[in-house]
Every structure is written in structure tokens, then in C-alpha cells.
Amino acid sequence: MTEETQGKWEGKATAELKGPTADQVWPFFEDFCNLQKWFPGVDTCYQVEGEPGQPGLVRYCSSSTISSDRSQEETDQVKWAKEKLVTIDRIERCLSYEILENNVGFKSYVATIKVLPINDGCKIEWSYTADPIEGWPVEDFNSYISSSLQFMGQKMEQAALSGRNSTNQMEGKSIAELRGNSRPNMVSLGDFCNINKWFPSLDLCNQVVVSWGKPGLTRYCASKTLSTYGCHDEGEVRWAKERLLMTNPAEKCLSYEVLENNLGFKSYMATVKVLEISEPDAGANGCKIEWSFIVDPVEGWTFEDFMSFINFCLQSMGKNMEQDVLNSQGRKEKNLKLSADENSLSIKIGQVAINDPHRSQHSSPSIMAEEAQGKWEGKATVELKGATADQVWPFFEDFCNLQKWLPLVDSCHRVEGELGQPGLVRLCKFSKVSSDGSHEETEIKWAKEKLIMIDPNERCLSYEILENNVGFKSYVATIKVLPINDGDGDGDGHHGCEIEWSFITDPIEGWPLEDFNSYINSSLQFMGQEMEQAVLSRQKTEPRWEGKAMVELNQACCLCSLFKWLPAQCSIGSEVSWAIEK
């Protein structure tokens, strides 16, 4: 069903699914950022911003070139669209979304999806309103919408029926109690991308999608000996990508799900809670960790064995966390004792301040830092007035040429991985950097750094230090290049750009936090100046082309037909001349 109203296209397509109920099918649409599971031709779909399941959530979808008749040869050009969830109603099982940006030809597009119950199944209704799309007749576009929905319906019907016919999901809960002076907190578990500190046999845990402490944060976990029962070959690396679904620091709980893995999980979702134990009469205190899960049956695991494995892991994690808390308390008591003898050290509850008469008490306005639960977090920014974000971003995208911009870096080259892709590893070598910023050439310092995430559309990337001899235990940084628009609303960033360098790291031996942040800030200021100068120099040296084209026709012809012949030949009686002036 289609109509054209005041230049707008409006249409609706429906698909009936026999067997699955509306409640079974609705979650497929509610999972807004996994469209690639169902929609034909969509290769990737992932979250860009916002919170899962909430209006304002934005997804990025990309696919092969789509032609109106679906018969043209596919090219290497990637078509993409950024789409925002506008409304969602779980009770009525409907949602609406709009296209924000795209290279497909949409000027405006708003669609509504409804999942409606019928006697023997459900019906999916897809309605839309759009401006006419260049190169697509409305009939062909509606045919494409209808065929795509039929395809999606078939896949969803199969998935729902397969789920119904499979063995019931397994549900379980494990509990570990931490006694003594351990007070309940979410620091250990809330540090979502450092679970390898606590989880037995887990060798690696890195963030993949950066959204610190917010739903959507995704981690990659890997181990060579994940199973305590010897079910896996020790020579094979086992891995899982897990996404944070919900976190509530006030209630001290979080939930996550397994997105991809080679462990055999079809679906897995877990919730972890930290609960206070307070028994004054018995003189007991501490906390209790509760780990509950729901999972499809895992091939090769009985429920009893899987439950035993979860329990073993939680008990091990509890012991590791309890010991860490006790060690931390011991360090605090030692520091408190030292404070009585050292006038230069001032300790307050929840805050450490180092008194140094030679250190400025005023932080730079362009850098923020804090010590949070043993981690250092900081951010530095620099503004470039003469260069746009699009001009500066390629300098960071060229990941293995850091020596061009970062002071003191003597060399930087690729070690492994593909250029411009996550997993790319670079080796940086530089002269020794001391805490006062001086520079000794007697010892070469080095670091191997891996690109974790890169988003050219948002002009941002994240990387981590894998190995080094500088003193880093863990270090993850995110670089963003943002346009400066000065409130004029046009959004083209012609007023310049801002570079934002944020990081999270363990404390570095021999570096006070203030000095490390000063080093980051001064380095970024230097990089900004170098990059701005490079852009301005390029603008001065690059030649500009000016051109003019003229055509004279002694026989009338349609201008649109003329483009069939240019530049090779023209219609009868025409004379074409091109003038290019450099």
C-alpha cells in the first residue's frame, strides 16, 4: 500500500508469521543494534551512541550497494546509514526510527515497526514516510521494502520456532561471601574490562566498544585454559565478546550478555549483585556476591558441571577480591602511620593530596584528572583554530606514524595487523622520559600498542599498551577529533577542531599523577601545533584548479541527454570545448 502526498512517499508492508507469537518476535526488533541478523544485505550494525532500549539510541548500518532493480553488479562501494530510535513501546510492541545521515540518497525517512498478534501467529507491519529517493521509482522502493520484510519474517519465524523446539534454557545462581572488614562495593566488578584480575585462568580482557561504565560497553575476554574440567584443549585460545546491558552503582549490580564466542554459548545473560552482610549480634560483617544467569544448553556441558564451574569461578573471584581489599586496607593503615611522621604528606578520607612547595596548586584548564579506586583517569584537550576535524583526523588514523607528531618518539612502525583495522599493533621507541620531563639518551624506552577501536565517521580511536619497559601495567587511551562550530548551527566545523585525549591507567611507578598529566597535556599541545602547521603548510603549497566548460549547439537538444555523450562525443551538429586553467 503506497501513496504520494505533497511530494512525500508513504507506504506500508506486512508479513504474517505462522506459529511464533508476537511476544516471541518482538525482541528481535527491540534488539535495535543487531539488524544484520535479519535484514538482507546489511553486513554490519552496531551502536554509535545512546542507551540500548531507550529513545535516542543510534545505530550504524552498512551494506553492499543497493540498486533499485537489485540486478546491477555490486561494487566495492559501501552504503551506510545512521539511524536513531525515536520511540519504543514494549507494551504495544512497536517502535519508530529515523535516518540521521546516509550515503544512500535519503533526504528524510521515518519508519514505524509494529508486531501484532493474530490467531495462529503474528503480523509484522512496517510503515514509512520519506522524501522521494533519487534513482528509485516509488514502485521499486516499495517492492524492495516488501521483499526485505518477507525475508526478515522468514528468518525470524525460523529463529522463534527453533528456540521453541530446543531444550529449555538453564537458569542458576551462585553465591560467595566475603567476611572480615570487607565492605560491599562495585569497584572490582564494576571495572568491567579488567575481569581478568579476578576470574581464574582468564589471560586477557580488553574493551572493544568504548563507553566507560555505561550500557553498551563491550569487552573481549580470552583464555587458554578456561575450563577447570579439562574440556578444552589447552593449546586453543577460547574467547568471548561480552556487552554490558545494565549497571546500577546505587544498587551495586550489573548485567551483561555474550555477543560472540567460540565456547559453545548460543545465548547467555548474567546478573551480578554485591549485597551487604551485617550481623551485629554475631559480630559479622562483609558482603555477599550473587551471580545469576540464564543460558541456552551448552554443548558438552551438563547443567551440573556448568553450575559447578560457575560456583568454582565465583569462589575464586571472591577470595581474590577479599585479599585485594585486605591488602588495600593494610596499605592505607601504613600510609596513615607515615602521615604522622611526614609533614609533606596529607591524607584525608577518600582523598590523597601531596604537598609540594615547588608544585603549582592550579591545574591546567585543558586537562582533568582524578584518582578513582586505584586507577588514574584523565583527559587533555587542545583547540586548533586553523584546521578542520576532517583535515586533522587522518594524522591519527595513520596509526603507525606517531613519530611525526608525538615529541620524543624516535620511531614508530607496524608490527602486525592490517592498517586501519582493530588489532593493528605498532612499536614505538623513544628516549627515556623522567618524571620532570627531561630526556636522557642513555636508555631506549619502548611500547607495543594495539588499536582496539577505530571509527572514521566519528573520528575517534582507542588503543592499549600491550608490552613496554616504561612502567605501565595497564593503559587504555581514546583520541577524538571534534569539530568546533561556535554555536552557528551549521555543524561543518569550519571554525577549527578540538583534539581530546582521555586515558585510564594503573599508577605508574616513579610518576606522580600530576606530572603524568602534565606530560600528557604538554605532548598534546605540541602535537596540536605540529598538526595545525602541517595543515596550513599543505593549504599554501597545494595547487588549486580552476576550470570552465562551454558547449554550443546549433541544433536543439535536451541538456539531460547531453550527459550521455560527455566527454567522449556529443550529438549531431554540436561543438564542445573544454578550458582548464591551473
| Residue with the three cell numbers 584443549 | 233
Residues 155 and 17 in one domain: yes
Buried b (16+ CB within 10 A) or exposed e, 406-429: ebbbeebeeeebeeeebebbbbbe
- Distance CA(174)–CA(188), nearest Å, equals 18
Co-location of 209 and 259 in the same domain: yes
- Identity of residue 546: E
78 and 109 in a single domain? The answer is yes
Which SS3 state, helix, strand or coil, does residue 390 take? Answer: helix
> Domain holding 305: CATH number?
3.30.530.20
Contacts of 490 (CB under 8 A, 6+ apart): none
Domain count of the fold of the chain: 4
Cα–Cα distance measured from residue 372 to residue 421, given in angstroms and rounded to the nearest whole number: 31
pLDDT at residue 432 in the model:
57
- What is the model's pLDDT at position 64? 53
The number of beta carbons lying within 10 Å of the beta carbon of residue 154 is 13
User: Is residue 201 in a domain?
Assistant: yes
In a domain, 59, yes or no: yes
What digits encode the pLDDT tens for the residues 440-480? 445 788 999 999 888 888 899 999 999 998 889 889 899 99
As a whole number of Å, the end-to-end CA separation of the chain is 54
pLDDT in tens, 64-90: 543 434 343 444 467 889 999 999 999
Whether 63 maps to a domain, the answer reads yes
Domain hosting residue 71, numbered range: 2-165
Q: What is the phi/psi pair of residue 389, to 5°? A: -60, -40
Count of other CB atoms within 10 angstroms of residue 24:
20
* Predicted pLDDT at 495: 76
* Phi/psi of residue 156, nearest 5 degrees: -65, -40
**Among 222-236, 262-276, 331-345, 379-393, the range of highest mean pLDDT:** 379-393
- What whole-number distance in Å separates Cα of residue 356 and Cα of residue 345? 9
**Preceding peptide of 507 cis, ω within 30°:** no
Confidence of residue 168 (pLDDT cuts 50, 70, 90): low
**Nearest by Cα to 168 from 267, 310, 26, 271:** 267
Is 395 inside any structural domain?
yes
Does residue 266 share a domain with residue 211?
yes
Strand order from edge to edge, sheet including 268-279: 170-179, 284-295, 268-279, 253-261, 238-248, 218-223, 204-209
101-131 pLDDT, tens digit per residue, is: 998 889 999 999 999 999 989 999 999 999 9
- Give the span between the Cα atoms of 524 and 501, in whole angstroms: 8
Q: What is the CA radius of gyration of the chain?
A: 29
Calculate mean pLDDT across residues 429-450.
67
C-alpha cell of 199?
A: 576470574
**Cα angle at 378 between 373 and 333, to 5 degrees?**
25
How big is the chain, counted in residues? 582
Strand pairing category for 170-179 and 284-295? antiparallel
**Of 307, 330, 353, at which residue does a domain stop?**
330
Name the domain boundary from 118, 141, 165. Answer: 165
Q: Are 505 and 476 in contact (CB under 8 A)?
A: yes
Residue carrying the nine cell digits 525515536: 86
- Both 500 and 463 in one domain: the answer is yes
501 and 396 together in one domain? yes
- Do 376 and 450 lie in a common domain? yes
User: Does one domain contain both 111 and 177?
Assistant: no
Query: Is 386 in contact with 409 (CB distance < 8 Å)?
Result: no
Mean pLDDT across 333-357: 38
Cα–Cα dist 534/365, whole Å: 26
Residue 335, in any domain of the structure = no
Specify whether the CB–CB gap between 428 and 468 falls below 8 A.
Answer: no
pTM, entire model: 0.37
Judge if the upstream peptide bond of residue 456 is cis by omega within 30 degrees of 0.
no
Let me know if residue 358 belongs to a domain: no
Let me know if residue 485 belongs to a domain.
yes
| Residue 21: per-residue pLDDT | 93
> Please, which residues bridge with residue 97 across strands?
85, 111
Same domain, 294 and 436: no
With beta carbons less than 8 A apart as the criterion, state whether 249 and 186 touch: yes
> Are 315 and 458 members of one domain?
no
Q: Which residues contact 398 (CB under 8 A, 6 or more apart)?
A: none
Residue 251 lies in a domain: yes
- Among residues 523, 522, 571, the alpha carbon closest in space to that of 551 is found at 571
pLDDT in tens, 259-295: 888 888 888 888 888 887 766 554 456 788 989 888 8
Task: Provide the strand spans (E) within 153-262.
Answer: 170-179, 204-209, 218-223, 238-248, 253-261
Q: Is 504 helix (H, G, I), strand (E, B) or coil?
A: strand
The H-or-E segment that residue 199 falls in is: none
- Residue 267's pLDDT is 83
The one-letter code for the residue type at 184 is P
Indicate the pLDDT class of residue 527, thresholds 50, 70 and 90: very high
